[in-house]
Chain A
Amino acid sequence: SQQGEEDPQALSIQEGENATMNCSYKTSINNLQWYRQNSGRGLVHLILIRSNEREKHSGRLRVTLDTSKKSSSLLITASRAADTASYFCATCSGTSYGKLTFGQGTILTVHP
């Protein structure tokens, strides 16, 4: 079963706009990670946020984590056409080290 559920399932925006994707999960976690996937193949790691962290930045990416609500968000600022991809959140819980449980993903399309 999928631990993470993401919304929206699809997001279409214009270049330069910000894109926000949300992820909810059910059980306690050690960390939450966001990945990007182009063309249905390999995933690229974007950012990892630990359970004791609330916010993290990396370039144009900002991730927040609210463990009380069991939710996370990924914000991409000043989006570019090259950001077009599927974005997945993945959780790692304390009961099974190494095992990532992925959400269904958000398909982001950035129009030039």
Chain B
Amino acid sequence: GAGVSQSPSNKVTEKGKDVELRCDPISGHTALYWYRQSLGQGLEFLIYFQGNSAPDKSGLPSDRFSAERTGGSVSTLTIQRTQQEDSAVYLCASSLVPAGDSYEQYFGPGTRLTVT
């Protein structure tokens, strides 16, 4: 079946612009996660959705970052007024139930964001 898809695969933007990153999880997966991977910080958790609510958004680095999920499916991560330190690969993952119940997370190919 189809895996997790993300768009765009690459995004180059100017400092100060807003960007939207999209994630389509595997159909039927109720849990959705955003992570980012950068050279200096490794893989960092950003936010977790269960259905349309976000019980854990502790990893969002600043109020410039927000995310939403609609219909228990597609999620959008928005970064406002982008800064160069936002440059990273943004990864989305989904799972049947939260990982605490011992289900693995399936990752998408990521969006490489470059802020110039």
Chain A residues proximal to chain B, CB less than 8 Å: 2, 30-31, 33, 35, 40-45, 48, 50, 88, 90, 92, 94, 96-105
**Quick one: which of B44, B56, B102, B108 contacts A31, CB cutoff 8 A?**
B102
* A45–B35 alpha-carbon span in the complex (Å): 15
* A96–B100 alpha-carbon span in the complex (Å): 8
B107 touches A43 (CB 8 A): yes
Instruction: Mark interface residues in B80-116 (1 if CB within 8 Å of A CB, else 0).
Output: 0000000001010101001111111111111000000
**Quick one: which of B44, B93, B99, B108 contacts A92, CB cutoff 8 A?**
B99
Distance (Å) between the CB of A27 and the closest chain B CB? 13
User: Within 8 Å CB of A2, what residues of B?
Assistant: 42
User: Within 8 Å CB of B95, what residues of A?
Assistant: 98
* B61 touches A (CB below 8 Å): no
User: Within 8 Å CB of B4, what residues of A?
Assistant: 42
B101 touches A43 (CB 8 A): no
* B50 touches A (CB below 8 Å): yes
B99 touches A45 (CB 8 A): no
A100 touches B33 (CB 8 A): yes
B42 touches A100 (CB 8 A): no
* A31–B102 alpha-carbon span in the complex (Å): 6
**Quick one: which of B91, B100, B108, B109 contacts A98, CB cutoff 8 A?**
B100
Chain B residue nearest in CB terms to A31: B102
User: Within 8 Å CB of B35, what residues of A?
Assistant: 100, 102
Chain B residue nearest in CB terms to A104: B42
User: Within 8 Å CB of A43, what residues of B?
Assistant: 91, 93, 107
Distance (Å) between the CB of A57 and the closest chain B CB? 16
Chain B residue nearest in CB terms to A96: B56
Chain B residue nearest in CB terms to A43: B107
